[in-house]
Structure 1
Amino acid sequence: MRHLDAEEVSARVRREVRNREVHLPPVSTYRWWARRTEAVNGSIIDAVSADKPGRMVVSDPFAGGGVIPLAAVMRGHSVYAQDLNPWAAAGLASMLALPDPEALRDGIAALTQRVLASAQAAYGTVLSDGTPGFVTHTFRVAVAPCTHCGARQRMFPHALVTLTSRVERKLPEAFLACPNGHLFKGRRDQIASCPTCDRVTDPDQVYTPRRVVTCQCGEQDRLEARASASSLEWEVVLVERAGGGRRELALPTAGEKTAATALQAQPRMSLGTIPAGQETAVLRRHGFSRWEDLYPRRQRAMVERLLELAAGCSTDEKVVAALRLAIIGSTEMAGHLSRWDRYYLKSYESMAGHRFNFTTLPVEPNVWGTTTSGRGTTLRRLVQLVKAAEWLRKHTGGQLKVQGPLHAGAATVSALLGEDIDGRPLERPDVLVVAGSSQRQLLPSGSVDLVLTDPPYHDDVQYAELSQPLQAWAGLAAPESGSDAVVNRATGQLVADGSYTALLASIFRESARLLREDGHLIFSYANRDPQAWVQLLEALQSAGLRAAGCTVVHSENETDHAKRNVRACTLDLLLDLVPVSSREVVKHRPELGAGAEQEFLAIVANYVLSVGELASGWQLEFLDSVSNAEFLKPQKRRHSGLSTPPAGEGSAPAG
C-alpha cells in the first residue's frame, strides 16, 4: 500500500467511471453488476510489482466482471480467475479469448448478410415522410380490469409518456396520456384536454404512484393485485422509427401493430421457471412466472433466429462464441421490463440499478438494431466487440492463451508459472478460468504472488438472480444452491448466524493457501451496514489472515442518479492482508480527509488494521463505535422541478 498514491488513483477513478466502456472496452462484452475500476485494480497490481518485479501470478476468486483479470493481463501477468456464476465464468473466458478483429469482422459481416431478411420482416416500416426504415422501439402499456367494476384500463405510469426530442433541445412537444388512457400529442409545459374524451391532462400527473392505480369508478388497486386477479395484457401504443439518418416517435400503424404481435413466429426455447428470490419477487408478484414471459413473442423469435444464424457464420469457434455473447447480451433489454427514459429517449436494461425493473410502459427493442438507434442491441454489441478485440490486441500484445472455464471439481492443475528441468518456461495458459465455488481452487499451494479480488458486498447485489435470464438464454446451468457468497433473505441463503462468515472464511482460507511466502491478499470493500463489516472481519481473522495495511480510494460516480443527494458509498476501503506467520509486517495506515463517509471509514480502518489480533468482544465495541456515525443516518432525496428530469430519470441507473 505504501507504493499506492490514493489521491492520484482516485482522480483516475473519477475519469474512468464516467465512461467505463471508453476506458476499458472489453467490459462491454458481457453484462455484470457493480464492476470496480481498472484504475484501482491496476494501481494495486503496479504497487505490488514495485516489490516483485517480473511476471506474477494474480488470482481472483470472485472474478465476476473480469476487471481484475483484464488489469493483470494488460500488464503481462498470468491470471487464475474463478467465479461461482457460470455466466460470469463463460463471459470472462470469451472476453479474454476474443478472436482476431479481422476474423470477428468477417463473422459479423456474414451474420449481417444472413439476418437482413428476418430483420426486415420483423421491423421494416416507413417513416412519416415516406423514407424506408425500421421500428427501433415498440412501446406497450399494461392493460387490466379494475377489481371492483371490471372496466379495462390502460395503466400508463405518467401523463407525460415521452418527449419527442431530447430534453436538452428544450422543445415542449410530447406524447401525453389522459387519465382514461388515450394517447395524444401535446406539450410538456401545458395542461391539455384529451382530443378523444376531453379529460383534462396534466403533464405532471403520476398515474401509478407507489404502484397503485385508480379506476374511473374510484377504486384503487395495487398493480400486483390486478396482475394476480387477471393476467396483464400488453397493448402496443407507440413506436420509435429510424431511417434516413433520423428518428421519430409516432402512433403505430396497423401494419406495425400486426408485426409486433408476431403471430406467425414460433419461438421454441423454454427458458425455465422464475424462482422465488429477493429480486425476482417483483416479477412473480406482477404475473411473470417463466423467464420467457419477460419477452414479447417477436423478441424471443428474433433472438432464436440470430443464435441459429450465428452458428454458421464462421468455422472459428471463438468467432461464433463472440457472436453468441453479443446476441444473448441483447436479452437484458427484455421487452416487457425495459424502462424508457422519457427525457433522453433511450431504454434501460431490465436489471438496471441492480434490480429487476417493473414498469407498466415497457419498450421492446429491435433485437438486431440500426446504426442510429438501439441501445443494447445486437448490432451495437457487435461493434463494441470489435473495439474490445482491438483493445486487447493493443494492450496485451497479441492473442491470449485462455483455458476454461474448467469446473471447480476438476483435478488440480500445474502452477501457471515455472520452468522445466532445463530451465525453459513451461507451456501454460495466460489465463485459467474456473467455474464453481472458490471454496476449492485448482492451483497448487504457494503458486500465487497476489490474490486480488472484489468479493460480494454482503446482500447488496443478488448476482445469481440477476444473471438467470442471461444464463437461461446461454443454456448454462444455475450454480449450486447456497454456494453464492451473498446473503438472500428471501430464500434464507446465508441468513443463519455465522453462515456468511463461515463461507467467506473458507474462500479466504483457500485463497491464502495459494499464496507464496511473500504473497498478499488485497481486496476492495464498501458497505453502509456495520454488520457486514463485522462478518467480513470475522471471516478474515478466522481464515488465518492478518492486516498489512489499508487505504481509501474513490470508487463510484457520485453523479449517478441513484447516488445523488443520498448517503451512498462512493469510497472503497482497500484491505491488504497476509497469512499469519512470523513474517514482519509494517502496517500502512490511510490518510483520510473530512466528511461523513471518511469519518465512518476511519473507524472501520482501525479495526481492519487489527485483523489477526482482534480480541474477544471486539464486535460489540465496533458496533458501538459506529452507532452514531453521521454516514449511517438516512438522508432524504431532494427532488428537482419540471425544468429538469425528476430524480431517477435522464441518467443511467447505477451499475
Structure 2
Amino acid sequence: MTGAVDRELVQESFSEAPLAGSTSDPHSHLMPSRLRQSKIVASPLRHIDPHAVSRSARAETRNREIFLPPVSVFRWWARRTESVNGTVIDAFSAERCASNKQLLVVDPFAGGGVIPLAAILRGHNVYAQDINPWAAIGLTAMLGLPAPDEIRESVASLSHRITPLVSAAYGTTMSDGQRGTITHTFRVATANCPKCDNLNRLFPHAMVTLLARKERQKPEAILACRNGHLTPGRHDRNTRCRECRTKVEPTAAYTPRRVVTCSNCGERTRLSDLAMQGNWSWEVVLVERARKGFRELDTATATEIATAANPRWQPQRSLGPIPEGQETRVLHRHGFKEWGDLYPNRQRYVLEQLLKLAPNCSENDRVAELLAMAIVGSAEMAGLCSRWDRWYLKSFESMAGHRFNFTTLTVEPNAWGDATSGRGTVLRRLDQLIKASTWLRENTTVRPVHGPVDPCGPQERPQGVTVGWGSSETLALPDRCADLVLTDPPYHDDVQYSELSLPLRAWAALDITHAAGDAVVNTAINQNSKGDDYSHLLSRIFAESRRVLKKDGHLIFSFANRSASAWADLLSALDAAGLCAVGCEIVHSENEQDHAKRGVRSCSHDLLLDLVPTGNHQLKIHFPKNDLEGDEPDFLRVVAKWFLQVGSLPPGWRAKCEDELLEAAFLGRPKAEV
C-alpha cells in the first residue's frame, strides 16, 4: 500500500524526519510521481508539548472533581484527563487551520465522559457511546444537567421528606451530652475458631484509627489488642490493653495475607475458610459522631448498637445474586452471595426509602432521575465492604482501586450524609450535582442531549450531543461523517468495568448480565480470553470507527498496559481494521500517589496513538520525544516503534514484538522499596 511505502522512507530516525518527497528528502528521486502528488498526512500530536500536558494531567488527577466538576455526577473507573484529551482536540483543530470550526467528535468507548466533556467545552458536536447501561444513563445525565435552581429545589424537597427517617436512623448523643449525628458506624468481623471454638474479633491491625487526621500530628489513637479489645493509646508507642492488660504494638498486623491466628489456641486459619464455615458475623464496635463542624470517634454505646440493629430497618428489595467474575471472586470467597449482603440493613433501608421519595421531589422527570442517580451512586459505599483510612479518617468506596475490597473492619456511612463528614453520601453527591450544573453553564453553551439511543437505529449526523447505548461494533452514524474519533478503550483485562458497575446497576434496576461485545478480557467467565477473540472484537470496533471517519479524519486514543500480548492484540486489531499509524506521543495519565498505585509497578503514563484510514497518501510520522526518562517511557518507546508499523506490519512481527517488550525493564519485578 502507498502509505506503507511512504512510512518506510520517513520513519528511520523515529523523529520529526523530513517529509518524504520534499526537496529536503534525499529519497525524493526514488518516489513515484503519483506519491509525490498524493496528499500529505501528518499527526496533530506533533503540536503537543508532552511535558506541559503531563504537568496539567498530574494536577488534574489529584482532584478531578475540582478540575472537571461534572465527573462527580456518576461513578466510573480509570477516567482519563481533560488536560490530555482537550489538548488533543485543540491540536486536531489547529491542524484544520480553523480553531472555530465545529467538529464532530466521536467517542465509541465513552465510559466516564471526559472526552465528550472536553469536546463540548470547545463547542463541538459529540456522539458518545458505551455498552454499559450505567455509563450510558450517566453520560446522558451528566452532559445534559438541568439548571442548578431546579436541582436545588428538588434537593430541598428530598431533604425535608427524609429528615425524620435520618434522625431516627442516625441521631445520637455526643460525649458532651449534646445531640449529634452518627456519620460512620464501624463493624468488625467475628468468627469462631474451628479448633477451640473461641470467638475471635478479626481486627486487621492493632492501630484501628487515629483520633485526628495524620497531618495534625496528634498521636492519640484507638488500638485493638490481640484478644479483640479496644483501648485508647497512641500510634507511636506500645500500650497495655485496659481490659486484659495485653501489650499492644501499634504497628502489628493481625490478619497478614488474610490469615488469622486464634487469640486462645494459636490456630491459624484463612479468613475465607472462616467465612465459608457460615459462622461469620459483624459486630458494631465504633462510631464517628458529628455536630456542626465537630467530629469524634468513640466506642459505640449500647443505644447506638441497638439502633443499628433495630428490626425496623427491614429491606424490601432484592438486589440479585453476585455473579462469577474476575473481581467478584473475592466477594464469593468471603461469604457474600447476594449484592444485598454488602449492606447493613439500616443502610439498605434508608437507600430504598430515598429512592421511593425521589420521583415526588420534582415535576421534571430529568431532575427526579438525577436525584435517583445520586442516591444509587452512594451505594458504592457499601457498609460491609468499605474500609476506613485510619490515617486520614475517611472511608473508601467498596470498589476503590478498581477492585472489590474485602476487609474485616468495615465502615457503614450515614447514607444521607452530614455536612461535617462522609465521602460519597447522598447529601454530598447532591451538592456536587448543583456545582456541576453551575460549572457547565459557566463554561459551555447548554445544548439538548439525545439518548441513550439504539446504535442499530437510524444513522444520523448529530447536531449537538447524542449518547448511544450498545456495542461500538455498530454506531448510529452515517458513513464518513466524523472529523475525529477520540476515545479511551478498555485496557485489556486491567479494569473490569462491567463487574465494578454491577452493584450500582442492581440498585438502579438496570440489566446486570454480562453484555456480549464488551471489549474487556475476563478469564473468569471466558470473555474474549480464547485465541484471537479480543483482537477480533477490537478490529470490528475499529473498522466501524474507520467507516464513520471522513477521508481526512483521524482516530486517536490512549492505551496503557503491562502485558506484551495485550499490546500485540491491539496492534493486530488496528492493522486488520484498515488503519495506518501516523504518530504517537507519551503523556502522564495517572496519579502515581494514589493509594492503589503506591509501591507497585503500575502504569502512570499513556501512549497516545494516532491513525488514519489506509489510502493513497504520504505519512509524516511523529515519534515520541526522547527526553522522558524512566522504565515506563522506555517501554512505551519500544511499543511506539512497533505501533508505527501498523498498516504494514511485516510477517512474523508478533513474536518479535512480544519478545522485545518482555525484555523491557518496566515489565520486570518491582524493586524492593528502600
TM-score, structure 1 normalization: 0.94
Distance 1:285 1:107 in 2: 42
Task: Tell me the secondary structure at the aligned position of residue 134 of structure 1.
Answer: strand
Conserved? CA contact 1:436–1:479, under 8 Å: no
Conserved? CA contact 1:97–1:318, under 8 Å: no
Asked if 1:102 is matched to 2:137, the reply is no
Q: CA deviation at 1:407?
A: 2.7
1:344 aligned to which of 377, 383, 392 = 392
Asked if 1:73 is matched to 2:117, the reply is no
1:317 aligned to which of 365, 370, 374 = 365
Q: CA deviation at 1:583?
A: 2.7
How many residues align? The count is: 625
Asked if 1:532 is matched to 2:578, the reply is no
Distance 2:450 2:195 in 1: 60
Q: CA deviation at 1:413?
A: 2.9
Distance 1:506 1:262 in 2: 54
Distance 1:566 1:224 in 2: 25
1:610 aligned to which of 630, 645, 652 = 645
Q: Which amino acid aligns with 1:198?
A: R
TM-score, structure 2 normalization: 0.91
1:61-210 pair list within 5 angstroms: 61-210=108-257
Q: CA deviation at 1:369?
A: 0.6
Distance 2:168 2:614 in 1: 65
Counterpart of 2:461? 415
Counterpart of 1:49? 93
Q: CA deviation at 1:322?
A: 1.4
Distance 2:281 2:250 in 1: 25
Task: Tell me the secondary structure at the aligned position of residue 490 of structure 1.
Answer: helix
Distance 2:125 2:617 in 1: 26
Counterpart of 2:521? 487
Larger Rg: 2
Task: Tell me the secondary structure at the aligned position of residue 445 of structure 1.
Answer: coil
Distance 1:73 1:552 in 2: 25
Q: Which amino acid aligns with 2:310?
A: A
Distance 1:500 1:244 in 2: 53
Asked if 1:212 is matched to 2:259, the reply is yes
Counterpart of 1:649? none
Higher relative contact order (CA 8 A, sep 6+): 2
Conserved? CA contact 2:287–2:300, under 8 Å: yes
Conserved? CA contact 1:146–1:219, under 8 Å: yes
1:228-239 pair list within 5 angstroms: 228-239=276-287
Asked if 1:16 is matched to 2:64, the reply is no
Distance 1:415 1:91 in 2: 22
Distance 2:195 2:165 in 1: 44
Distance 2:614 2:286 in 1: 63
Structure 1 unmatched ranges of 5 or more = 417-427, 640-655
2:587 aligned to which of 553, 559, 562 = 553
Q: CA deviation at 1:565?
A: 4.2
| More displaced stretch, 280-289 vs 230-239 | 230-239
Q: CA deviation at 1:245?
A: 2.1
Conserved? CA contact 2:229–2:241, under 8 Å: yes
Conserved? CA contact 2:417–2:426, under 8 Å: yes
Conserved? CA contact 2:192–2:279, under 8 Å: no
Distance 2:635 2:280 in 1: 46
Distance 1:241 1:315 in 2: 36
| More displaced stretch, 138-147 vs 263-272 | 263-272
Task: Tell me the secondary structure at the aligned position of residue 112 of structure 2.
Answer: coil
Structure 2 unmatched ranges of 5 or more = 1-44
2:659 aligned to which of 605, 618, 624 = 624
Asked if 1:596 is matched to 2:631, the reply is yes
Task: Tell me the secondary structure at the aligned position of residue 449 of structure 1.
Answer: strand
Q: Which amino acid aligns with 1:91?
A: G
Counterpart of 1:355? 403
Distance 1:478 1:579 in 2: 36
Conserved? CA contact 2:58–2:588, under 8 Å: yes
1:31 aligned to which of 72, 75, 80 = 75
Q: Which amino acid aligns with 2:236?
A: D
Asked if 1:583 is matched to 2:621, the reply is no
Counterpart of 2:9? none
Counterpart of 1:307? 355
Distance 1:598 1:93 in 2: 36
Q: Which amino acid aligns with 1:136?
A: T
Distance 1:621 1:305 in 2: 59
Q: CA deviation at 1:2?
A: 2.2
| More displaced stretch, 48-57 vs 283-292 | 48-57
Counting aligned pairs with the same residue, the percent is 56
2:471 aligned to which of 430, 434, 437 = 437
Q: Which amino acid aligns with 1:413?
A: Q
